[in-house]
């Protein structure tokens, strides 16, 4: 995996710096001291549930909303006091926001026209943009004559035409059907790499975040919980929220395991107070009659398969852990396991089978 540039140490200069932004709506504080940086040519995805403050963050950067505190710098220049139009930021809205009575070309030229660009230059740039987004020959069509994906491309072309210093994507793909969404995401990623324009996406869709973000910032109730490369946030989540928000995660109290003679307790593990986190794909299941391989895996416990769900290239299993005798009255602990087809062929399991449960890796969380 290619190492990602560390932006906080300034190894690449920042295009956008958001520092300590807070926002109140009446008595509700919807953004709490939000800070992040986007490097030149880099994309950052803000991922969060509905109501977490994503749109508010985007609108503040775009200049459509005022923050109550904090600073925003674009290429080293303070922009908080500038009006939206003066910020040189392109916004691609969820509903495309194309002008229905304007042709594709007129839509693309709109930003240039209001900025007083000469007609010939407008035409030249529109042609260039149409080529870039693969819609050459469609310049005289109206938005209603285009598919959702094509309309979204026109919206991108319109934002790109006046050569913005930053692009903001407001849940831009959620209205498209899944197949088209995937295709368009790949196109946009390629386009952004090619043009080297920094971009900020907001979404609640984790696949989208993984695919589009050089960095992912996880927003929870107005606070950024963690920022990092997709690999960092997935493999080293700093909170239970991040772990369970991004992908499936098992979180198990270590006390449940302390009677297990096989658990290879690391010195750093406080066996009384720890909770461990592991991903479903890090679990190795084997029928109890088989020897469990020792390192690199760690035997967690013994258990019983509750059910097995076929999922095409993989399968999902729910497995209930056997509880130590003195804990029989506590609620059952069920973990989620995913196995590749290859793994499931090696040891076929069905509901009711007793299994040894080992982990390739796990993480201790506070």
| Residues of this chain that bind ligand ADP (CB under 6 A) | 25, 30, 48, 50-56
| Cβ closest to ligand ADP, residue 55 vs residue 286 | 55
Alpha-carbon dihedral angle through residues 249, 255, 259, 261, given to the nearest 10 degrees: 50
3 state SS of 327: helix
CA–CA dist 80, 60 (Å, integer):
8
Helix (H) or strand (E) holding 161: helix 148-161
| Cβ closest to ligand ADP, residue 201 vs residue 362 | 201
The pair of three-digit structure tokens given for residue 108, joined into one six-digit string:
């693309």
Output the smallest distance, CB 96 to ligand ADP, in A. Answer: 18
| Cβ closest to ligand ADP, residue 47 vs residue 357 | 47
Output the smallest distance, CB 84 to ligand ADP, in A. Answer: 16
| Cβ closest to ligand ADP, residue 33 vs residue 281 | 33
Longest Cα–Cα distance of the chain, Å, equals 82
| Cβ closest to ligand ADP, residue 53 vs residue 237 | 53
Instruction: State the DSSP string of 6-52.
Output: -TTTTSS-EEEEEEEEEEEETTEEEEEEEEEEEETT-EEEEEE-TTS
| Cβ closest to ligand ADP, residue 47 vs residue 126 | 47
CA 362 and chain centroid, separation: 22
| Cβ closest to ligand ADP, residue 66 vs residue 341 | 66
Output the smallest distance, CB 219 to ligand ADP, in A. Answer: 7
Cβ atoms of 24 and 152 within 8 Å: the answer is no
Peptide bond into 296 cis (omega under 30): yes
Output the smallest distance, CB 78 to ligand ADP, in A. Answer: 23
User: For residue 243, which of 255, 235, 231 has the smallest C-alpha distance?
Assistant: 235
Output the smallest distance, CB 137 to ligand ADP, in A. Answer: 37
Phi, psi of 28, rounded to the nearest 5 degrees: -95, 125
Output the smallest distance, CB 184 to ligand ADP, in A. Answer: 21
Q: CA separation (Å) from 170 to 92, 175, 208?
A: 6, 11, 12
3 state SS of 59: helix
Output the smallest distance, CB 67 to ligand ADP, in A. Answer: 12
Output the smallest distance, CB 199 to ligand ADP, in A. Answer: 17
| Cβ closest to ligand ADP, residue 50 vs residue 268 | 50
């Amino acid at each position: 995996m290619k190492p990602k540039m560390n932006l906080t140490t300034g190894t690449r200069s920042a295009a956008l710096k958001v520092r300590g932004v807070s926002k109140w709506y009446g008595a509700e504080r919807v953004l709490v001291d939000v800070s992040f940086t986007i490097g030149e040519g880099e994309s950052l995805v803000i991922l969060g549930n509905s109501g977490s403050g994503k749109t508010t963050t985007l609108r503040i950067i775009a200049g459509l909303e005022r923050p109550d505190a904090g600073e925003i710098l674009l290429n080293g220049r303070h922009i908080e006091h500038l009006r939206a139009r003066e910020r040189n930021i392109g916004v691609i809205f969820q509903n495309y926001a194309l002008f229905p009575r304007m042709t594709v070309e007129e839509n693309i030229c709109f930003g240039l026209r209001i900025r007083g660009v000469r007609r010939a230059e407008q035409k030249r740039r529109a042609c260039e943009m149409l080529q870039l987004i693969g819609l050459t020959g469609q310049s005289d069509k109206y938005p209603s004559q285009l598919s959702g994906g094509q309309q979204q491309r026109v919206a991108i072309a319109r934002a790109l035409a006046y050569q913005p210093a930053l692009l903001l994507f407001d849940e831009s793909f959620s209205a498209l059907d899944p197949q088209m969404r995937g295709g368009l995401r790949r196109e946009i990623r390629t386009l952004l790499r090619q043009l080297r324009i920094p971009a900020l996406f907001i979404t609640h869709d984790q696949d989208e975040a993984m695919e589009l973000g050089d960095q992912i910032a996880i927003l929870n109730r107005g606070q950024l919980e963690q920022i990092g490369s997709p690999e960092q946030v997935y493999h080293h989540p700093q909170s239970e929220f991040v772990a369970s928000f991004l992908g499936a995660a098992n979180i198990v109290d270590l006390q449940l395991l302390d009677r297990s003679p096989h658990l290879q307790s690391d010195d750093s593990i406080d066996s009384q107070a720890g909770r461990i986190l592991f991903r479903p794909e890090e679990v190795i299941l084997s029928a109890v009659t088989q020897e469990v391989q020792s390192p690199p895996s760690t035997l967690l416990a013994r258990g019983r398969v509750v059910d097995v769900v076929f999922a095409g290239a993989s399968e999902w299993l729910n497995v209930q852990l056997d509880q130590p005798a003195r804990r029989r009255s506590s609620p059952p602990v069920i973990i989620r396991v995913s196995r590749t087809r290859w793994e499931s062929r090696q040891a076929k399991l069905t509901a009711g089978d007793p299994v040894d449960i080992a982990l390739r890796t796990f993480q201790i969380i506070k």
